[in-house]
Chains A and B, each alone.
Chain A
Amino acid sequence: MIRPSSLAAAARPLLTSAARATPATTAAAAATAARLSTTRMLRDQHDASGTTHFGFRTVREEDKESLVRGVFSSVADNYDLMNDAMSGGVHRCWKSAFIERLAPAPDTRLLDVAGGTGDIALRFLDYVREQNGGALGAAHVTVFDINPEMLRVGAQRFSKLGLENGGPHVSFVEGNAEELAGIEDNSMDAYTIAFGIRNCTHIDRVIRQAYRVLKPGGRFMVLEFGKVNNPLLSTLYDAYSFRVIPHLGQILANDRDSYQYLVESIRKFPTQQQFVDMMKHEGFQVVGQGYEDLTFGVATIWSGWKL
């Protein structure tokens, strides 16, 4: 029998907390929509009436944050069990692959946004230690999350490993990914966000902030659910998503709606290419196509450079 608490320490939830939706006036939303109307994706994300999507539902922008919060509080205790149950544990491989692609060095300063319980941060420090003969050098990670509960869990987890919050290697900061308040311009070597950006209200603002805080030569990396392109697999994946996952949510977590939101929000997220276009729009440059599909595109790693 696996105790939920040990699981909580072992895995970071796929559902991470969202950026705080700033109360947008109609005018501001219209300006945003007008500026970004160049790509279809951006029209999809917001329209002039100040609404956005919450799964397949259309909601007012200012409501999304509390709705996402609702999802998180209702599934919180069963996150990790559900993550493993739904992905067959594969999400761990995705996260490891993510850090391997980043290949951090002992001098890397990382900002991990929506990093909550520190799953990516821990893999980051493990990677540096492994590559650097057991020493952490000057490696540092800032775990940034909007949800104080998640940060508390992360800080406790790190503390048990002898890594104190505010110490030489890790700090936990609460804040909104669309603002990154308190993070200096040009101060980070790398920016990661894993299974978090999907839940943000304004993806473009999140990317713009990432660009602001990265040093020239810094790397922006996103791990998120992608789109499965193989038609046969995509049929199977859809069947699994819409027929199996909500039931799993019902049985394991007694919460069907939250998992319904999860699968719907994955479908509403931009395609691989649309997200690359959004990154380029904010100034990032990419090598090749700019993304790499994992497990046939169920998850995707996007990567861009500020140069």
Chain B
Amino acid sequence: MHAATTASMVARRLAAARLMSTMPEGADINEIRQQLLRTALQLVPEYSFTDKTITEAAKLHEYPSTLRGLAPNGARDVIEVLFEDGIEHVRQAHAELLEQSGEKKPGMTKVVTHLSRARLEYMIPYIRQWPDAVQLLAHPTNVPFALHHLHKLVDEMWHLAGDKSFDTNYYSKRALLAGVYTSTELFMTKDQSPGFEQTWEFLNARFRDSAKVGKAASDVKTTLEWGASNLKGLLMSRGIRL
């Protein structure tokens, strides 16, 4: 335990030193803000999603802790960086997938499954602290923010997968994927299996479920029911009691 902590501290200092070299004197305030929040994100394994993470990040950059005021929403601003970088990560994963597939274009389901897994893998460094973030996002004032970013994520995934629907399927597809993604993410926070094997199984099972629903798409009632229950699960996973 002690050795691991020391190792993580060393890694952290090194990472911070690297970041520091990229923070020029007299830099633009928005650049400094981004750097501060990125450093804070790196410190999440140590301080979780709290205001202290930002204060510590400021100290690592040898700034007074009052620099925390650059993030008026506290840990939520750190989460926002995580979300934004997450979208970037998904885009990269998509580019790599296309490269690997070569001539043969992967199907829509395959792309969405692959991207979901990539986005979940991106969460590995922060997954143990993620319940703290979920709790924060469940606060009534943060729910619109959380849903906005969730929508951005699933919309990006469908967009990359080549979805061009603009009928009612547009909503059901996004609702389905949002349900699959968030429930798996929540499962992952408790997963102790090596390499998060159980999480990937869980993810595949969820996609199989939704495929069944897709086949019965003509049955409007089934789709609506499934969508509703999924939405309910999604909201509950975000801390909203129904």
* Residues A190 and B66 in contact, CB atoms below 8 Å apart: yes
Tell me which residues across on chain B come within 8 A of A303, comparing CB atoms. Answer: 69
* Residues B69 and A102 in contact, CB atoms below 8 Å apart: yes
**Please, what's the 1-or-0 string for B45-67, where 1 marks a CB less than 8 Å from any CB in chain A?**
00000010001001001011111
The answer to whether A287 has its CB under 8 Å from any CB of chain B is yes
* Residues A287 and B66 in contact, CB atoms below 8 Å apart: no
Tell me which residues across on chain B come within 8 A of A189, comparing CB atoms. Answer: 64-66
Which residue of B29, B58, B65 contacts A286 across the interface (Cβ within 8 Å)? B29
The answer to whether B28 has its CB under 8 Å from any CB of chain A is yes
* Residues A217 and B67 in contact, CB atoms below 8 Å apart: yes
**Please, what's the 1-or-0 string for B27-53, where 1 marks a CB less than 8 Å from any CB in chain A?**
111101100000000000000000100
The answer to whether B174 has its CB under 8 Å from any CB of chain A is no
Contacts of B178-201 to chain A: CB distance below 8 A: none
User: Which of A10-18, A103-111, A112-120, A259-267 contacts its partner?
Assistant: A103-111
Which residue of A101, A286, A307 contacts B32 across the interface (Cβ within 8 Å)? A307
A218 nearest CB neighbor, chain B only: B64
Tell me which residues across on chain A come within 8 A of B64, comparing CB atoms. Answer: 107-109, 189-190, 215, 217-219
The answer to whether B118 has its CB under 8 Å from any CB of chain A is no
* Residues A219 and B27 in contact, CB atoms below 8 Å apart: no
* Residues A103 and B29 in contact, CB atoms below 8 Å apart: no
Tell me which residues across on chain B come within 8 A of A285, comparing CB atoms. Answer: 28-29
Tell me which residues across on chain B come within 8 A of A307, comparing CB atoms. Answer: 26-27, 29, 32
User: Whole-angstrom distance from the CB of B14 to the nearest CB of chain A?
Assistant: 22
Chain B: interface residue total (CB-CB under 8 A): 21
Kindly state the separation between the CA atoms of A103 and B73 in the bound complex, as whole angstroms: 11
User: Whole-angstrom distance from the CB of A102 to the nearest CB of chain B?
Assistant: 7
User: Whole-angstrom distance from the CB of B27 to the nearest CB of chain A?
Assistant: 7
The answer to whether A172 has its CB under 8 Å from any CB of chain B is no
Contacts of A278-307 to chain B: CB distance below 8 A: 285-287, 303, 305, 307
* Residues A107 and B33 in contact, CB atoms below 8 Å apart: no
B74 nearest CB neighbor, chain A only: A103
Which residue of A107, A109, A216, A219 contacts B69 across the interface (Cβ within 8 Å)? A219
Kindly state the separation between the CA atoms of A287 and B73 in the bound complex, as whole angstroms: 13
* Residues A287 and B33 in contact, CB atoms below 8 Å apart: yes
User: Whole-angstrom distance from the CB of A63 to the nearest CB of chain B?
Assistant: 37
Tell me which residues across on chain A come within 8 A of B28, comparing CB atoms. Answer: 285
**Please, what's the 1-or-0 string for B65-85, where 1 marks a CB less than 8 Å from any CB in chain A?**
111111010000000000000
User: Whole-angstrom distance from the CB of B64 to the nearest CB of chain A?
Assistant: 4
- Interface centre among A105, A108, A109, by most chain B C-beta atoms within 10 angstroms, is A105
* Residues A287 and B55 in contact, CB atoms below 8 Å apart: no
* Residues A101 and B69 in contact, CB atoms below 8 Å apart: yes
* Residues A218 and B29 in contact, CB atoms below 8 Å apart: no
Kindly state the separation between the CA atoms of A285 and B25 in the bound complex, as whole angstroms: 13
Q: Which residues of B contact A (CB under 8 A)?
A: 25-30, 32-33, 51, 55, 58, 61, 63-70, 72
Question: What would 19 more interface pairs be, CB under 8 Å, given A219-B66, A287-B72?
Answer: A101-B69, A103-B51, A103-B66, A103-B69, A105-B66, A105-B68, A189-B64, A189-B66, A217-B66, A218-B64, A219-B69, A285-B29, A286-B29, A287-B30, A305-B29, A305-B67, A305-B70, A307-B26, A307-B29
Report 25 cross-chain contacts, Cβ distance below 8 Å, ordered by A residue: A101-B69, A103-B51, A103-B66, A103-B69, A105-B55, A105-B68, A107-B64, A107-B65, A108-B65, A215-B63, A215-B64, A216-B63, A217-B58, A217-B61, A217-B67, A218-B66, A219-B67, A219-B69, A286-B29, A287-B70, A303-B69, A305-B29, A305-B67, A307-B29, A307-B32
